[in-house]
Amino acid sequence: MYVLFFAVPLAGWTYSSMAGFPIVWFGVLPLPDLVAVDKEFAKVIKPVHATLAYTLLALVVVHIAAALKHQWIDRDGLLERMRFGGAGSPNEQEWTAS
């Protein structure tokens, strides 16, 4: 999943560069083109970007579903342990050890 966090935007940036679309990050910072304009190859990259994006979306949905399964079916306290300062955090372990 972490690889896709980088691959999806890079594929989109590559597609936009090849298609001749300017990229402006948050409407403030114009980014340089990664590659030269090539509208024919841009048609090849666009579905790659879409496939990577939908794969990332599917993995995020599965990840959330797994966390909810732990919460509601396994009832193993996973979400509580993930919470900042939750059960099992170093600060709580110090308090319960004394």
24-68 residue pLDDT tens: 989 999 999 999 999 999 999 999 999 999 999 999 999 999 999
Residue 96 has pLDDT above 60, yes or no: no
pTM: 0.77
For the chain, give the mean pLDDT. 89
Enter the DSSP assignment of 71. Answer: I
Indicate the number of domains in the chain: 1
Residue 82 has pLDDT above 90, yes or no: no
CA 45 to chain centre: 19
Residue numbers of the domain that contains 47: 2-97
* Block residue for tokens 């560069």: 17
The terminus-to-terminus CA distance of the chain in angstroms comes to: 40
Residue 95 has pLDDT above 70, yes or no: no
What pLDDT score was predicted for residue 39? 95
